């Protein structure tokens, strides 16, 4: 494990020392100022773009009070990566899997390195808390797992997709720990300003590059424009628009499929695979994604997919992030990636869409492969 940590830390330090991060850094600085000025319960009324739950905003405020977020946020996320690697190693040991391989596939992955040390967001903390809750569940410490899982939801609400799985595994003790922690994290901000809190956080529709069926639809529309085929252009963009509006239904369907498969024989040793497939399916079906989403399914990917498929997903996702950050930085080496202006220059948004197509197709294949493997294990155990 030592060489894994040394190499991974060196790459993260090099990236932080030579780049300025992304435009998301400005958003977190704005969030931290709002929390400092209005408190966490009042910040949502004064900062429309504060779409993160209270715990994530408080973390940003705390880090900003220590030093510039361009340093503290990325350093904190790098430390979270170390913790996640150790947790993944612990999960692998309990499952009888290769500990070093599982830790290396996460900690040395460009996806993890870029997300913690360049992206400037809280996704690294999210997966640390998520994997910790899975490890606690495997150890049958269900109340603690509920508390930690609630903290993950306090960073971003997306872990709620896996809540049914954890409730089935931990039942009353998990529910008690989860409910108590959720009340502490969410109730004060919700009670003070429910309308802004719901609008900013709970009703947030997402943003980012095209994904799901919106991706081929948008590419077809762009091809129709380029080839002067009005029918193709109209059909492609119409498909994209419809899917963006209905995308949540497809996300819920993917999560429901995985939950149903695992719940037929809810063995704890298959829980990491089921949680991973929930996120993989949800991201595959999402109509839009940001560059941090691909970290969500990464830590426990070796427990859900055959080794070659897991490595392929990791490699293609890493390649896409490298291409995307090069496009958003307008070249290499990266100094600063402006994620907020996908239309400047005019071709940037479509170039990002084209770069994403291989990963989206690979995610479909991986999700189907993982779901079939999970169903086989459930049926033959």
pTM comes to 0.95
Q: Which of 92, 103, 31 is nearest to 65 (CA)?
A: 31
Q: Is the pLDDT of residue 362 over 80?
A: yes
Backbone angles phi, psi at 228, to 5 degrees: 60, 50
* Residue 343 confidence (pLDDT): 62
Domain span at residue 20 reads 2-379
Structure tokens at 116: 């913690």
Region of residue 206 (phi > 0: left; psi between -120 and 50: alpha; otherwise: beta): left
Find the DSSP H helices in the chain: 2-18, 24-46, 54-66, 69-95, 99-107, 110-117, 123-138, 142-155, 163-192, 194-197, 214-227, 230-263, 271-285, 307-328, 348-379
Mean pLDDT of the chain: 94
* Residue 341 confidence (pLDDT): 73
The predicted-structure confidence for 238-273, as pLDDT tens digits, reads as follows: 999 999 999 999 999 999 999 999 999 999 999 999
Q: Is the pLDDT of residue 220 over 70?
A: yes
How many domains is the chain built from?
1
Region of residue 21 (phi > 0: left; psi between -120 and 50: alpha; otherwise: beta): left
| Distances in whole angstroms, Cα of residue 162 to Cα of each of 106, 187, 256, 291 | 20, 21, 10, 21
């Amino acid at each position: 494990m030592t060489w894994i940590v040394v190499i991974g830390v060196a790459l993260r330090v090099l990236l932080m020392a030579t780049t300025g991060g992304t435009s998301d850094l400005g958003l977190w600085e704005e969030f931290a100022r709002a929390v400092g000025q209005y408190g966490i319960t009042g910040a949502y009324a004064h900062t429309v773009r504060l779409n993160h739950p209270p715990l994530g905003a408080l973390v940003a405020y705390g880090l900003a009070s220590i030093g510039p977020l361009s340093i503290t946020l990325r350093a904190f996320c790098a430390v979270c990566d170390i913790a996640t690697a150790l947790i993944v190693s612990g999960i692998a040991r309990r499952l009888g899997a290769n500990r070093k391989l599982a830790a290396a596939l996460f900690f040395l992955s460009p996806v993890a390195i870029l997300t913690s040390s360049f992206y400037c967001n809280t996704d690294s903390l999210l997966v640390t808390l998520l994997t910790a809750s899975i490890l606690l569940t495997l150890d049958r410490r269900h109340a603690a797992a509920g508390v930690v899982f609630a903290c993950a939801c306090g960073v971003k609400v997306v872990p709620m997709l896996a809540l049914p799985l954890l409730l089935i595994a931990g039942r009353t003790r998990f529910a008690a720990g989860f409910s108590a922690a959720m009340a502490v994290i969410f109730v004060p901000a919700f009670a003070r300003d429910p309308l802004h809190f719901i609008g900013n956080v709970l009703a947030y529709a997402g943003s980012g590059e095209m994904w799901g069926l919106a991706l081929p639809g948008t590419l077809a529309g762009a091809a129709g424009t380029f080839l002067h085929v009005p029918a193709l252009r109209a059909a492609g963009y119409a498909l994209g628009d419809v899917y963006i509006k209905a995308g949540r239904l497809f996300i819920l369907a993917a999560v429901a499929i995985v939950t149903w498969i695992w719940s037929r024989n809810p063995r704890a040793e298959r829980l990491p695979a089921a949680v991973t497939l929930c996120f993989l399916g949800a991201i595959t079906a999402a109509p839009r994604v940001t560059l941090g989403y691909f970290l969500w399914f990464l830590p426990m990917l070796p427990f859900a997919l055959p080794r070659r498929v897991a490595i392929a997903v990791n490699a293609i996702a890493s390649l896409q992030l490298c291409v995307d950050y090069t496009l958003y930085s307008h070249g290499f080496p990266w100094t600063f990636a402006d994620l907020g202006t996908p239309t400047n220059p005019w071709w940037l948004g479509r170039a990002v869409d084209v770069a994403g197509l291989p990963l989206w197709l690979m995610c479909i294949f991986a999700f189907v492969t993982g779901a079939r493997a999970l169903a086989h294990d459930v049926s033959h155990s």
